Amino acid sequence: MQQMDLLISRIIEKKNPTVAGLDTRLEYLPESFLREVMPDGVHTLEDAAKAIFAYNRALVDALCDIVPAVKVQVAYYEMYGPAGMQCFADTMAYARSRGLSVMADVKRNDIGATAEAYAAAYIGQTDAAGAKVRAFEADFATVNPYLGADGVAPFTKQAAAHGTGIFVLVKTSNPSSGQLQDMKVADGRTVYEVVGDLVRDWGADLVGEYGYSAVGAVVGATYPAQGAALRVRLPQTFFLVPGYGAQGATGADLAGCFDARGLGAIVNASRSILCAWKKREGVPFAQAAREEAVRMREDIASALATAGKALR
């Protein structure tokens, strides 16, 4: 089964179009937990990576019957060096073992030959002198479009070959996203509309059983009008929607990213789940994360119901 179809089926099964972002930083771990898992303290990057994996595993256990997917932001693992990358791999493997779809949020891109290596690393296979192995076992990777088609084609090729998928940055959630992305080009489109149209074309041959392609788009919840317009413009493109929670977007901001069936998008929240314990005094971190994930599910369900798009 194509991973995009599997993701959508899990969204429907759990009635929850959200993804928990495991952007775990050492500072997010409660001191008591840190003492428990690392009684001798954290002194090296290896120690830090070990503690973070323990946190992630507990979060996955607490969330795996609530959310259909996790998104693992690789930057927070790269900052701990090779040990951090091992933690990244282990976190993704553990989440998969608990029945979750796994997105590697790597925002990779490069010229063709190099993009092939990235695609192999995350959503394909590496050839190690004949043995084909998966370096990092993700179901999806995020991809940056600045280099144009030949920086993306190797990813769509691997997606087609392995049933995996990608989300290409179209309209990002950050405050300065418009600096480049909102510029109007000669034909009247914005840069992000140009990219959106390319994403639609790149994914046209990979449309699955729900009518959505394995080539999705990243569309920030912090720009709701643009998200709603892109939903209409790109009817076969599934959206990964960051910006909910700590970045400021609410359930009401999201409804436009969904289609009439309540499908078409999955909303990410990271810090609001990872650090939920900080706002729930006395509640253990895993339970606090679970409560926040449930609250988020209800918030989005309510917003979709209000918009007449309740997921059935």
Query: Would you count residue 151 as binding its own copies (CB under 8 A)?
Result: yes
The tokens for 149 are 């088609």
Exposed e or buried b per residue across 141-157, where buried means at least 16 C-beta atoms within 10 angstroms of its C-beta: bbbbbeeeeebbebbbe
Q: How far is the CB of 258 from its own copies (least distance, A)?
A: 22
Nearer of residues 8 and 195 to its own copies, judged by Cβ: 195
Q: What's the CA gap between 257 and 264, in Å, rounded?
A: 7
Query: Would you count residue 184 as binding its own copies (CB under 8 A)?
Result: yes
Residue carrying structure tokens 């999955």? 266
Q: Looking only at residues 98 through 117 of this chain, which bind its own copies when binding is defined by CB under 8 A?
A: 107-112, 114-115, 117
The tokens for 233 are 């413009």
Which position among 136, 140, 202, 223 is part of the footprint of its own copies (CB under 8 A)? 136
Q: What's the CA gap between 98 and 3, in Å, rounded?
A: 15
Query: Would you count residue 227 as binding its own copies (CB under 8 A)?
Result: no
Amino acid at the residue 301: A
Write the interaction track for its own copies spanning residues 282-311; mark x where CB under 8 A is met and - where it is not: ------------------------------
Q: What's the CA gap between 105 and 131, in Å, rounded?
A: 26
Nearer of residues 179 and 250 to its own copies, judged by Cβ: 179
Orientation of helix 191-202 relative to helix 149-162, angle to 10°: 30
Amino acid at the residue 242: P
Which position among 178, 252, 291, 310 is part of the footprint of its own copies (CB under 8 A)? 178
Query: Would you count residue 93 as binding its own copies (CB under 8 A)?
Result: no
Write the interaction track for its own copies spanning residues 231-260; mark x where CB under 8 A is met and - where it is not: -----------x----x-------------
Q: Which residues are catalytically annotated? A: 107
